[in-house]
Amino acid sequence: MNWVRQTLLRNWLVRAISTTIGQKLVMGATGLLLCGFLVAHLAGNLLIFQGTEHYNRYAKMLHENELLPVAEAGLLVLFVLHILLSFTTASANTAARPIGYYGKHSKLSGGTFVHAHNYMFLTGVLVLGFTLLHLSDMRFAHLNLRLKYDSTLDPAAHALHVLHDPISAPVYLLGSLVLGFHVSHGFQSAFKSLGLNHPKYTPFLSKLSILFGIAIGLGFASMPFWYYFAGH
Amino acid sequence: MSAMLDLTLKIWRQDGPKTRGAFKTYHLKGISTEMSFLEMLDILNEQLIQLGEEPVAFDHDCREGICGMCSLMINGQAHGPETKTTTCQLHMRRFHNHDTIVIEPWRARAFPVIRDLVVDRTAFDRIQAVGGFVSINVGNAPDGNSVPVPKVNADKALDAAVCIGCGACVAACKNASATLFVGAKVSQFALLPQGQAERVQRVQKMVAQMDKEGFGSCTNTSECEAACPAGISVEMISRMNLEFLKATVVGAT
Amino acid sequence: MSLNAEQTGSSDLVSRVPSGPVAEMWDKHKFDLKLIAPTNKRKFTIIVVGTGLAGASAAASLAEQGYNVHAVTIHDSPRRAHSIAAQGGINAAKNYQNDGDSIHRLFYDTVKGGDFRSREANVYRLAQCSTSIIDQCVAQGVPFAREYGGTLANRTFGGVQVSRTFYARGQTGQQLLLGAYGSLMRQVGLGKVTLHSRREMLDVVTVDGVCRGIVMRNLVTGAIESLAGHAVLLCTGGYGNAYYLSTNAKGCNVTAAWRAHRRGAYFANPCFTQIHPTCIPVTGDHQSKLTLMSESLRNDGRVWVPKTPGDKRAPNTIPEADRDYYLENKYKGFGNMVPRDVASRNAKQQCDAGRGVGTSGKAVYLDFAEAIKRLGQKTIEEKYGNLFHMYHKITDEDPYQVPMRIYPAIHYTMGGLWVDYNLQSTLKGLFVLGEANFSDHGANRLGASALMQGLADGYFVVPYTVADHLATSKLPPVTTDSREFKAAVEEASFRTKQLLGIQGRRSADSFHRELGHTMWDYCGMSRNAAGLEKAIGKIRELRAEFWTNVKVLGHDHELNQNLEYAGRVADFLEFGELLATDALTRNESCGGHFREEFQEDGEALRDDANFCHVAAWQFQGDNKPSVLHKEPLTFDEVHLTKRSYRE
């Protein structure tokens, strides 16, 4: 195995990506792209509030696009990279401090507010679980990996069915909020990891990031809330 | 102005690198608020010597905040509760009567404990040895004013260069990451014309060595910046990231 | 009590100062020095003890040339050396300000500043090297202060009337040291320098009369180790901590220099100690060290005391008419920028006259109100921000709002091991650089000259002169297995065990404090014969008590900071006596050495007829009087005149 490693490390890209900085660069880049996906995904999903027919039309359009498999494959790569690296960096980070402190206190100003950055791995794992559940609910259970869109399908009805489920609805609500919490740090952190940190832009990006997290979290959570908790 | 404090100290005692350590509790009376934190430890040690107990080993030297020798995690905070302050510049007026103060060494795999509160920070030296310099032999230098450096760049480079190498950034980081330390050195030279010749190799080598030493990675929590007694900004980390990205793209295979 | 010393009167000291005009000496000498061919350099090993400005620069330069170098430091990293704490700046005769500076003027100012007790040839060389130092440091990426046009900025320091001080905020020493440290670490990375950190030198080893190595204690494991080579460079700083309270770091000590002295290196002018006028005053008995406020502050700060003794009003409520800006009033031409010895002595005189301020009455004001009004707080912050911050941290008072309170403190030691023009001590093969030698500052060092000297010695002088030693000396192969090394290791181990074996009742720290009190009271800012004799007696008693009553816990085979400290205190207790003896023998006042018997209007009164010499002391054995050797000083370029800053 070691010679495989050595051979791979002869490549400049592998070598760069295998450093801690390289890993964070890739995590930042994949994270940002995934944020882009979240925006598109949320925009599509929110159509359900306009009526089931709008939602179905959007689903149809999406699934009739022949490039969808390419996009999905790309998304899969982004997810896998982001997740794999989160596990490798997290385990390296744990190993970097074998003996912990008796008690550790932040010196950051801003006091006791819960910092999302301290829970990135935990929230990331929760988001991963939620994503798998969501995929099995929406992508595999209903669409069955069919490439051709079948006019008999009614994705909106299926979505509403899931959102009205007494177990799924709270899970979707919480999952959405955790996702929002995760990206509220991830969005701005990605810029820093990619090398953008400047007194001119960073304060703005930090605020934008929190707003982004809130928008994503509340945006996705609005659906289970509206259909299950508000009883529509 | 000055008052007297009675304190309880919980201090990490460890006989050597290979032995197991534990906290030990000490009671100290009549500590003047005018004292520095290390002078308080001097008093403790003087009392321990009188009692026949080995004094607490801790690193210190200049006691004016510049040598970077002193360390100490004080109540879970690197260099104690003040910002932009080293332990030696921390004064007892910051504490209250009957406080319990927990004192621990820096904790990181790359900073193994040597004894009590003394840790081995030579990992930093090894990182410096692979790239923390401009390769210019004595005798080669052109006139100091031959290359103008914009004041704003010189100032920024100095903002990076004021790092005292104490390791508080590593100690305070939840991942024990050394990116603030390395980022500061990379930034200093990236900002100056003198650093350009080795710009690409420097960041690659220093990052590689940093990883080899076993430091964690940066998750942009900014705890390092908050703990840094020299006030070094996390911008340095981002600049290093960018330097690394550029070096990866344009550097040799 | 009779004088401790036997005066020999004769001089067997060979200074090796070249002949000819002073401006041509160094160039001529460099040509006359023998070289080592590039391919032969790797056959030589040089041991550099100490990694401050002098040590790091020397180790790096020698390694760059191809020698094998061992660098030894008591710290965990070379970067911790106390050069790092130098604040204000470094002088260089660049004349970038077009204000009449020149090599000759820097030379002149330094000789005069040293009160005509330095060696002219060395000072001239120092001034010559100064310009190359700046170039070298800029090339290393030292971020000096710049003007908006991108050129280097300068400021003024005490005792001069030009702007020739280069700086990086209030942390110039740090930036210069990190530059030299970078060069050193580069050589470590290249394998040319072997770094020995957390090692304390305990002895030098001579073989056939030539210094060939050192014995050192591994501070982590306690092992007594040794290194053999072809030359040893001591770059181990000054002995200010003999006074206990000083601006030196806690770890600064005289051990390396003293151990070399005991092996045959003469100690020169130990009584020349610099008392820095602007330090934060002592607050109580617990105090472990004093903190310097850079001399550069006197560029903008004004020194004053209330005119009426015992005026306890808050400083900001004392009207201008009731203030005495005593430096400005007395020294019209230099004002607040008089040299350190003068400023310190005047502060003491004001306090002795009852006009001191603060709770102890042992402080004067350094006031920035006028400068803040003139330049704005932002400018002051840019220039001195870190110093103001430090002052605020320590005193809990905001110097932007109230004047600083300052008082003189021991800061630098001009004395040190005697060296010839090649920086070689009387022990052949042992070179001494930086503050550890005596050569360039005479009886008083001007501000911003210590950094200059450390780097000149390391970058530009010793690389040439060591080569000459290597080329011209008989240096048969020697290993650490040889008899001489084994004996030295044995001796060092014995001493360590001895310290652990006493098991008395007093800590090393309590002895050190007591020594410090004696030194400061009798051998500090002003000295007199009776006091010095008393001090010598007290030191002898204290030393005797130390060796029967010190309490050192723990073992020798582990990290034992108490043991390290005890060894250093033991050496200070021997050295302190020599310092006092030298002060007693020098029956004149000059620079920082102020003998109350020899003064004129409160200013130092030199005696050029009898004391225009370097006093170099030779060790004779424990508790035996040292022998004094004199190196006469001649002044061909700068004529011996009364040193005055009143015009």
- pLDDT tens string C278-327: 999 998 888 999 999 988 899 899 999 999 999 999 999 999 999 999 99
Is the pLDDT at A171 greater than 70? The verdict is yes
- The per-residue b/e assignment along A72-83, b for 16 or more CB within 10 angstroms, e otherwise, is eeeeeebbebbb
**3-state secondary structure string across C332-352:** CCCHHHCCHHHHHHHHHHHHH
In this complex, is the C-beta atom of B150 within 8 Å of any C-beta atom belonging to chain C?
Answer: yes
Q: By three-state DSSP, how is residue C127 classified?
A: helix
* B30 and B128 assigned to the same domain: no
* B163 and B241 assigned to the same domain: yes
Across residues C197-212, what is the average pLDDT? 98
Six token digits for residue C151? 């050129």
Euclidean distance between CA atoms C591 and C339, whole angstroms = 9
Cross-chain CB nearest to B218 (options A11, A22, A24): A24
Strands C210-218 and C404-413: unpaired
- pLDDT score of A149: 62
B132 and C168 within 8 Å at the Cβ level: the answer is no
Euclidean distance between CA atoms C469 and B156, whole angstroms = 44
* B87 and B141 assigned to the same domain: no
- pLDDT score of C385: 87
Cross-chain CB nearest to A117 (options B208, B220, B242): B220
In this complex, is the C-beta atom of B141 within 8 Å of any C-beta atom belonging to chain C?
Answer: yes
* Chain A neighbors of B176, CB-CB under 8 A: 93, 96-97
Is the pLDDT at A144 greater than 60? The verdict is no
How many beta carbons lie within 10 A of that of residue B131, not counting itself? 26
Six token digits for residue A34? 């995934």
Q: Which residues contact B236 (CB under 8 A, 6 or more apart)?
A: B160, B180, B183, B184, B186, B187
Euclidean distance between CA atoms C344 and C407, whole angstroms = 8
How many beta carbons lie within 10 A of that of residue A22, not counting itself? 22
Cross-chain CB nearest to B245 (options A13, A25, A118): A25
* Chain A neighbors of B8, CB-CB under 8 A: none
Euclidean distance between CA atoms C576 and C515, whole angstroms = 8
* Chain A neighbors of B207, CB-CB under 8 A: 19-21
In this complex, is the C-beta atom of B239 within 8 Å of any C-beta atom belonging to chain A?
Answer: yes
* B32 and B152 assigned to the same domain: no
- pLDDT score of C414: 97
* B85 and B129 assigned to the same domain: no
- The per-residue b/e assignment along C210-243, b for 16 or more CB within 10 angstroms, e otherwise, is bbbbbbbbbbbbbebbbbbbbbbbbbbbbbbbbb
Is the pLDDT at A126 greater than 80? The verdict is yes
Is the pLDDT at C9 greater than 50? The verdict is no
Six token digits for residue C91? 């002088």
**CA angle (C155 as vertex; C149, C156 as ends), nearest 5:** 155
- Per-window interface: C 76-105 vs B, CB < 8 A: 76-82, 84-85, 94, 96
Query: By percentage, how much of chain C surpasses pLDDT 70?
Result: 98
Catalogue all structural domains in chain C, each as residue range(s) with its CATH number: 1-83+172-272+414-438+446-641 (3.50.50.60), 276-411 (3.90.700.10)
* B128 and B243 assigned to the same domain: yes
A102 and B104 within 8 Å at the Cβ level: the answer is yes
Across residues A95-101, what is the average pLDDT? 96
Is the pLDDT at C79 greater than 50? The verdict is yes
In this complex, is the C-beta atom of A188 within 8 Å of any C-beta atom belonging to chain B?
Answer: yes
Write the DSSP symbol of residue C353. T
- pLDDT score of C383: 83
- pLDDT score of A111: 52
Distance from CA of B43 to the nearest CA of A (A): 24
CATH of the domain at B44: 3.10.20.30
Across residues A205-212, what is the average pLDDT? 95
Specify the higher pLDDT residue, C139 or C383: C139
Please name every residue paired with C292 in a beta bridge, in sequence order, or none if there are none. C279
In this complex, is the C-beta atom of B154 within 8 Å of any C-beta atom belonging to chain A?
Answer: no
- Which CA distances in Å does C143 have to B34, C291, C327? 35, 24, 33
Euclidean distance between CA atoms C505 and B92, whole angstroms = 28
Is the pLDDT at A214 greater than 80? The verdict is yes
Dihedral pair phi/psi, residue C231, rounded to 5°: -160, 150
* B97 and B200 assigned to the same domain: no
Residue with tokens 């080993």: B57
Which ranges in B191-234 belong to alpha helices (H)?
A: 199-212, 223-227
* B161 and B193 assigned to the same domain: yes
Closest to C242 (Cα-Cα) out of C1, C449, C513, C452 = C513
Burial class (CB in 10 A: 0-12, 13-18, 19+), B25: exposed
Stretch (H or E) spanning B11? strand B4-13
* Chain C neighbors of B201, CB-CB under 8 A: none
Cβ atoms of B176 and B108 within 8 Å: the answer is yes
Closest to C202 (Cα-Cα) out of C632, C630, C571, C473 = C571
Distance from CA of A63 to the nearest CA of B (A): 37
Query: By percentage, how much of chain A surpasses pLDDT 90?
Result: 72
Stretch (H or E) spanning C388? helix C377-395
B16 and C558 within 8 Å at the Cβ level: the answer is yes
Across residues A170-179, what is the average pLDDT? 96
Q: In this predicted model, what pLDDT tens digit does every residue of C33-59 receive, in sequence order?
A: 999 999 999 999 999 999 999 999 999
Euclidean distance between CA atoms B245 and C270, whole angstroms = 56
Query: Total structural domains in chain B?
Result: 2
Euclidean distance between CA atoms C529 and C605, whole angstroms = 15
Domain extent, residue B240, equals 121-250
Residue B140 lies in a domain: yes
Distance from CA of B130 to the nearest CA of A (A): 16
* B174 and B84 assigned to the same domain: no
- pLDDT score of C59: 98
- pLDDT score of A143: 60
Residue B196 lies in a domain: yes
In this complex, is the C-beta atom of C209 within 8 Å of any C-beta atom belonging to chain B?
Answer: no
Is the pLDDT at B16 greater than 80? The verdict is yes
User: What's the mean pLDDT when you consider all of chain B?
Assistant: 96
A21 and B175 within 8 Å at the Cβ level: the answer is no
Is the pLDDT at C274 greater than 90? The verdict is yes
Chains adjacent to C (≥3 CB pairs closer than 8 angstroms): B
Q: In this predicted model, what pLDDT tens digit does every residue of C433-476 receive, in sequence order?
A: 999 999 899 999 999 999 999 999 999 999 999 999 999 999 99
Respond yes or no: is residue C340 known to be catalytic: yes
* B133 and B240 assigned to the same domain: yes
* B59 and B134 assigned to the same domain: no
A21 and B253 within 8 Å at the Cβ level: the answer is no
Distance from CA of A203 to the nearest CA of B (A): 12
Q: Is C519 left (phi over 0), alpha (psi -120 to 50) or beta?
A: alpha
Six token digits for residue C43? 């056959």
* Chain B neighbors of A16, CB-CB under 8 A: 244, 248
Cβ atoms of A195 and B241 within 8 Å: the answer is yes
* B146 and B235 assigned to the same domain: yes
Cβ atoms of B181 and B206 within 8 Å: the answer is no
Q: Is B228 left (phi over 0), alpha (psi -120 to 50) or beta?
A: beta
β-sheet with C267-268: strand ranges across: C6-7, C627-632, C613-618, C267-268, C416-417
Closest to C182 (Cα-Cα) out of B149, B135, A8 = B135
Distance of CA C601 to the CA centre of its chain: 29
Q: Which residues contact C95 (CB under 8 A, 6 or more apart)?
A: C101, C102, C162, C164
Six token digits for residue C128? 């010559």
Catalytic residue, from C340, C355, C606, C643: name it: C340
Across residues A121-132, what is the average pLDDT? 95
In this complex, is the C-beta atom of A39 within 8 Å of any C-beta atom belonging to chain B?
Answer: no
**Of the candidates B55, B72, B104, which is a domain's last residue?**
B104
A20 and B211 within 8 Å at the Cβ level: the answer is yes
Is the pLDDT at B171 greater than 70? The verdict is yes
Q: What single-letter amino acid sits at B73?
A: M
In this complex, is the C-beta atom of B244 within 8 Å of any C-beta atom belonging to chain A?
Answer: yes
- pLDDT score of C5: 42
